[in-house]
């Protein structure tokens, strides 16, 4: 405890680091404040009444978790940064199948700037389409026959202005994220999602407190639940940071009187190369049937089918887990190309002991990557379906989201990455970081 206190003191001794942290916190506060500013023309009291008894175990509840309640509040930042994330995913996928985007990815800094610009254009388009969908949902929302958007307000002008406001809110949030990345600490886009998820945590704790207060839950059971949550977080940290290192020997080269090479380096292969992307892909697809079926509330046959796609359904959990395993391998193949690594090693005169350079090296790396990805994909699948099982044990729907799924992986991943950046600033100025040894320092 004394070491952690001393580390925090050292953080504020470094002027640049102190300024970066304050700047980051200031912009994140702006994000949270605007998330509570309701769109013009909406009856805020009726909106609050219409969302009072809604649960978070559906598509809109999950989206609301990522934007920190802004969607629930019909706020200016209701779309959050998710259109930017969607645009980034699309551009990445296009880079795997379209030569033009592949060429951009190989052009270095100039290619990266063009990809960033295309991602921004895609963000505007996706945000505008989603904003239009939000206006349709708001117009259809009513409380005992009284619409949330008054009849006198509804019309083309209100729809157009709301689309412009929501799209501008997403663009402004994207700009804030870029400013945090450039002038603050950590990845700005990730921190905006992180702070949105964390913002919902006090409300989740309040739900649990009310269960204890009502006598529905004993304090002993609550302690067991929190202990389980801590174990799950520890498991997430271990798996997301786990790597398998492959030794690479670089042959000696003699040029005149100088000797080059002859050293051993390591290729770190992560157990979870795909990160949180497989869960995002699978989740997006799994919500499609339920969303489509919700447009036919009076069709008995389709409503019976929709039960199989319910959040707590065993069929849903099995299909969800299988899709996550598939997308883990799919995204790993996009993010890490063993052939490129083998070719790069061959050009630099490197080789894996006992393995011939070229094709055999590529096959060897691919074989190891396939083996270590399997347990990583199973772990992702278990973490993703865990909230559904936890909610069946009587845990509130908001609190169960913090037991797994995308939210837990994002919170842990962003927290570790931000701590690593702070640690780098401390060590550059000869201060001790948060850890003198271990994975956090080793991965720096």
Secondary structure of 144-158 in HEC code, one letter for each residue = CCEECCCCCCCCHHH
* Short-list 268, 229, 275, CA closest to 379: 275
Bridge partners (DSSP) listed for residue 142? 147
Taking the C-alpha atoms of residue 21 and residue 28, their distance in angstroms, rounded to an integer, is: 11
Please give the share of the chain, as a percent, with pLDDT higher than 70. 78
* Radius of gyration for the chain, computed over Cα atoms and rounded to the nearest angstrom: 25
Residue-level pLDDT at 444: 43
Lowest mean pLDDT among 38-52, 58-72, 151-165, 364-378: 58-72
Q: H-helix or E-strand containing 44?
A: helix 44-50
Task: For 319, list phi and psi in degrees, rounded to 5.
Answer: -65, -40
Higher pLDDT, 209 or 118: 118
Taking the C-alpha atoms of residue 262 and residue 239, their distance in angstroms, rounded to an integer, is: 33
Higher pLDDT, 387 or 431: 387
* Short-list 281, 307, 279, 280, CA closest to 293: 307
Q: Judge whether residue 164 has pLDDT over 90.
A: yes
Lowest mean pLDDT among 23-27, 103-107, 266-270, 305-309: 305-309
Lowest mean pLDDT among 148-157, 175-184, 271-280, 330-339: 271-280
Residue ranges in 200-242 assigned as alpha helix (H): 201-213, 219-241
Taking the C-alpha atoms of residue 84 and residue 382, their distance in angstroms, rounded to an integer, is: 27
Task: For 401, list phi and psi in degrees, rounded to 5.
Answer: -65, -25
Taking the C-alpha atoms of residue 314 and residue 309, their distance in angstroms, rounded to an integer, is: 9
- C-alpha angle 419/423/424, rounded to 5°? 120
- C-alpha angle 287/290/291, rounded to 5°? 80
Taking the C-alpha atoms of residue 34 and residue 75, their distance in angstroms, rounded to an integer, is: 7
Residue-level pLDDT at 340: 83
pLDDT per residue over 179-229, tens digit each? 998 888 888 888 888 888 888 778 777 877 777 787 777 778 778 777 877
Average pLDDT over residues 252-280: 68
Residue 249 corresponds to which tokens in the numbers above?
């020997």
Domain architecture of the chain: domains with CATH: 16-199 (1.10.3370.10), 203-444 (1.10.3370.10)
Average pLDDT over residues 80-108: 81
Residue 101 corresponds to which tokens in the numbers above?
């985007």
Taking the C-alpha atoms of residue 229 and residue 186, their distance in angstroms, rounded to an integer, is: 25
Q: H-helix or E-strand containing 285?
A: helix 277-293
Q: Judge whether residue 397 has pLDDT over 70.
A: no
The model's confidence at residue 442, banded by pLDDT at 50, 70 and 90, is very low
Residue ranges in 39-80 assigned as alpha helix (H): 44-50, 59-66
The model's confidence at residue 23, banded by pLDDT at 50, 70 and 90, is very high
Residue-level pLDDT at 38: 83
The model's confidence at residue 3, banded by pLDDT at 50, 70 and 90, is low
Q: Judge whether residue 105 has pLDDT over 80.
A: no
């Amino acid at each position: 405890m004394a070491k952690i206190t001393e580390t925090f003191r050292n953080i504020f001794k470094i002027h640049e680091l102190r300024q970066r942290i304050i700047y980051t916190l200031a912009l994140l506060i702006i994000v949270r404040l605007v998330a509570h500013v309701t769109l013009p023309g909406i009856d805020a009291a009726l909106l609050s009444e219409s969302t009072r008894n809604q649960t978070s175990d559906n598509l809109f509840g999950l989206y609301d978790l990522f934007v920190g309640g802004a969607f629930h509040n019909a706020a200016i930042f209701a779309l959050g940064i998710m259109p930017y994330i969607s645009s980034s995913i699309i551009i990445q996928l296009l880079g795997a199948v379209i030569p033009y985007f592949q060429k951009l990815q190989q052009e270095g800094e100039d290619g990266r700037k063009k990809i960033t610009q295309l991602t921004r254009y895609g963000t505007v388009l996706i945000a505008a389409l989603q904003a239009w969908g939000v206006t349709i949902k708001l117009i259809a929302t009513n409380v005992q026959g009284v619409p949330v958007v008054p009849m006198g307000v509804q019309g083309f002008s209100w729809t157009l202005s709301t689309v412009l406001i929501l799209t501008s809110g997403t663009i402004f949030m994207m700009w804030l994220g870029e400013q945090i990345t450039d002038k603050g600490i950590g990845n700005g886009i990730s921190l905006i999602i992180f702070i949105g998820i964390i913002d919902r945590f006090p409300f989740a704790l309040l739900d649990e407190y009310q269960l204890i207060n009502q006598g529905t839950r004993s304090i002993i059971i609550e302690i067991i639940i929190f202990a389980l949550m801590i174990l799950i977080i520890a498991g997430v940290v271990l798996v997301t940071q786990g790597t398998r290192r492959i030794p690479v020997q670089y042959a000696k080269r003699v040029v005149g009187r100088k000797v080059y090479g002859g050293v051993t380096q390591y290729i770190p292969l992560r157990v979870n190369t795909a990160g949180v992307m497989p869960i995002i892909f699978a989740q997006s697809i799994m919500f499609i049937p339920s969303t489509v079926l919700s447009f036919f509330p009076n069709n008995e046959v389709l409503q019976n089918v929709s039960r199989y796609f319910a959040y707590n359904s065993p069929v849903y959990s099995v299909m969800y887990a299988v899709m996550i395993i598939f997308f883990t391998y799919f995204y790993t193949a996009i993010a890490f190309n063993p052939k490129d690594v083998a070719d790069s090693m061959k050009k630099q005169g490197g080789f894996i002991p006992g393995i011939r350079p070229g094709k055999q090296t590529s096959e060897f790396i691919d074989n190891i990557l396939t083996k270590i990805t399997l347990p990583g994909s199973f772990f992702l699948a278990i973490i993703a379906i865990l909230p559904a099982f936890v909610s069946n044990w009587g845990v509130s729907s908001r609190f169960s989201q913090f037991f797994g799924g995308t939210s837990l992986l994002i919170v842990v991943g962003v927290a570790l990455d931000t701590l690593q950046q702070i640690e780098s600033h401390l060590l550059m100025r000869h201060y001790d970081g948060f850890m003198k040894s271990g994975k956090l320092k080793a991965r720096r």
